[in-house]
A and B are shown apart, each in its own frame.
Chain A
């Protein structure tokens, strides 16, 4: 080894030490996985994809194992995953499943628990599980680690945060919002349509409005069903608290959002924030990568995040919308092992750090607590980590998709003024109760709200 090589190696070692400071347990930043069969991952083309692609490239460089990504728009993911698991042999070795879809796959028996593939596999304690969305207790028909098998893990833990224009608030002498009243007050000060909207979030029928209304619902102390984890499927969506949440949501949208709020989708919300035409917006954390990207944003460095605002005197509601990586039962055994090996590597501290640096949303708590969080480009991490204690899953039952369709329509009809909020919630409650009745669940519903 000549002198230049020695210096180079030393510099690289110093760089690596700086990049990956040794944690207390002195564990290796990356897992050694050995030679594995090539695998294919079904992955969605969401804003965090670029970060994942870079991390996969790092895996390929480090291990020489091959990973192919089938990048698919969100709209095509579910059918591709269904077709894969219902076929004789799955073309995919890891499926990325929206947490809402996981029940169908868990209950259908289409996935192989990770410990069945590799008995030594377990999730590192630092990995966030988003209310156990990656465990399945078949007897209780519920996602829980208590008696449940480890079916996968989350590659992306989307939760809502409130994005706001730090520069505008500073100029106006306003503090970042902590309550929905604060959001309304900031909107009142800054709303100058069409140049500037005070607050934007999705109102589009279906999953968009159901998901974006959920923090309001949770924050007001309302719920869709009383206690599904205990088998009590009494519908509680037409409670006074839910009405309060819906009225607040509608008032904010009507007073602060563009007139086309009834069809406003995720692309629109991100576009309005990134072009500097919205002062505040409720969106998932995965949208962050757009705002500091000079190619796509007119407000680089000016957007910041806080935990979703709360109703006065209550905790904030934070809706989890995570994804789950899982291994199909009908993938060849050799590739199932390779999928678990990749997973072991991907969940290491080093890989998660690389994932975050590439623009992904890591799922290890120690990544958020690391020096990364101090860097300006990762200023979203504080709000994300502070959100976790409040984050809750919804629709964790087999009828979730049907319930979402009902809520997605009725909430949208209330938003666009086709129904009063009371009537929308009463209608939704009746329809959801019918769904549970058809499934043979123990159900019922509250007294109707005044319409």
Chain B
């Protein structure tokens, strides 16, 4: 009787304890579920939804969307799209140029300001101002400055007796003019990441190099740049993704023109999806862009210092 009582007592007490242990042990898993739910609902589901859209022709009739399964149609459109080819080339040039210039300028600005004996906080605040401005304001401001007849640049050129520049209207200059605006807007972002990393560099290593007689250039090349590798990679990847998605400024400055001189993939997607209401083909374009960005991130992760390639090399016998 007593044994039975004891067993019963043990059983009654053990069950809640086991349940509690189970809750504790699995808490870290199920506490993530709400977050995972949001991620699935807001990120994964829309992307998955793009797949049936990309394989369909979607039209509206009687106030309802009518889907027709036309798997080859949108792919054929993608392959035959001449403007898309120009857009891809322009986007690659835009991303390559703007990110490269932003990385170089951001690095040297960070280095310069980190070396200032005084006023670093003030200089940093001034530097990051462009990031705080909305892209619409930046686009409008630069469009005014680039204006052929009334713009600041041509006013200055006129005062100096120089021929005015057709900054946005000449196919040779238009993409470069757009790159300049992106560089002005986003170099501070690179600066901010690199400035924080430079401030966190181990001072003893820098001091040792200095004692050993390293020149400034040697210190930058052999010590600072290698130590900043992960920060440089992060900044470059973020900026490449941002530049790949660039839309608002370019839309305001040139809307992709003249001709296709500044047509970017994002502008083309907007044109197809929203202006022309080609939802199926727009979905196909979106999926292609997502795939290209994912591949870019994958390659960058693999190639970056400390990335997958380095890890694999270290693991090799």
Contact = CB atoms under 8 A, between A and B. Distances in A.
Contact of A412 (B168, B259, B276): B259
Contact of A262 (B73, B83, B258, B276): B258
A251 B258 CA distance: 18
B257 A263 contact: yes
Count chain A CB atoms within 10 A of each CB in B62, B63, B148, B257 and give the residue with the most.
Answer: B257
Contacts of A151: none
Contacts of A78: 274-275
Contacts of A82: 277
A292 interface: no
Contacts of B168: 260, 263
Interface string B158-178: 000000101011110010000
A413 B257 CA distance: 9
Contact of A402 (B150, B260, B278): B278
Chief secondary structure at chain B's binding surface: loop
B149 interface: yes
B63 A412 contact: no
Nearest to B171: A416
Interface string B118-149: 00000000000000000000000000000111
Contacts of B35: none
A264 B276 CA distance: 22
B169 A261 contact: yes
Given A205-B259, A412-B257, A412-B258, A260 B166 contact: yes
Interface string A197-217: 000000011100000000000
A38 interface: no
A109 B274 contact: no
21 contacts: A86-B60, A104-B277, A108-B60, A108-B62, A109-B60, A109-B64, A110-B60, A204-B255, A204-B257, A205-B255, A205-B259, A258-B148, A259-B166, A260-B166, A260-B168, A263-B168, A263-B258, A329-B63, A330-B63, A413-B259, A418-B171
Interface of B: 59-65, 73, 83, 147-150, 164, 166, 168-171, 174, 254-260, 271, 274-278
B258 A401 contact: no
A78 B271 CA distance: 12
Contact of A277 (B65, B149, B169): B149
The A interface, classified by DSSP as helix, strand, loop or mixed, is helix
Nearest to B164: A194
Interface string A239-263: 0000000000000000000111111
Contact of A85 (B63, B276, B278): B63
Contacts of A438: 73
A79 interface: yes
B257 A205 contact: yes
A37 to B, nearest CB: 22
B63 A110 contact: yes
Interface string A405-419: 100010011011010
Contacts of A263: 168-169, 174, 254, 257-258
Contacts of B73: 438
Interface of A: 78-79, 82, 85-86, 104, 107-110, 194, 204-206, 258-264, 268, 271-272, 275, 277, 329-330, 401-402, 405, 409, 412-413, 415-416, 418, 438
Given A416-B171, A438-B73, A262 B63 contact: no
Contacts of A418: 171, 259
Given A262-B259, A416-B171, 14 more contacts: A82-B277, A104-B277, A109-B60, A110-B63, A194-B164, A204-B255, A204-B257, A262-B169, A405-B275, A405-B276, A409-B259, A412-B258, A412-B259, A415-B258
Given A263-B258, A272-B149, A412-B258, A402 B276 contact: yes
A258 B147 CA distance: 11
Nearest to B64: A109
B274 A409 contact: no
Contact of B150 (A110, A204, A271): A271
A351 B309 CA distance: 73
Given A401-B275, A409-B83, A107 B148 contact: no
A261 B275 CA distance: 23
B274 to A, nearest CB: 6
Contacts of B147: 268
Contact of A108 (B61, B174, B259): B61
A260 B153 CA distance: 14
Contacts of A272: 149
Contacts of A412: 257-259
Contacts of A275: 150
Nearest to A272: B149
Nearest to A194: B149
A398 to B, nearest CB: 8
B271 A405 contact: yes
A5 B169 CA distance: 64
A412 B254 CA distance: 13
Contact of B256 (A79, A205, A330): A205
Nearest to B63: A109
Q: Which of B62, B148, B256, B259 has the most CB of A within 10 A?
A: B259
A346 to B, nearest CB: 26
Contact of B61 (A109, A330, A402): A109
Contacts of B61: 107-109
B258 A107 contact: no
Contacts of A109: 60-64
B66 to A, nearest CB: 10
A262 B277 CA distance: 26
A418 B170 CA distance: 11
A272 B150 CA distance: 10
- Which residue, of B63, B174, B260, B271, has the highest number of chain A Cβ atoms within 10 A? B63
Contact of B60 (A107, A194, A402): A107
A416 B63 contact: no
Contacts of A104: 60, 277
Nearest to B174: A263
A270 B179 CA distance: 28
Contacts of B271: 405
Contacts of B257: 204-206, 262-263, 412
B63 A401 contact: no
Contacts of A79: 274
Contacts of B60: 86, 104, 107-110
B276 A401 contact: yes
Contacts of A86: 60, 65
A411 B150 CA distance: 26
A86 B63 CA distance: 7
A52 to B, nearest CB: 25
Contacts of B274: 78-79
Nearest to A206: B255
B256 to A, nearest CB: 6
Nearest to B70: A438
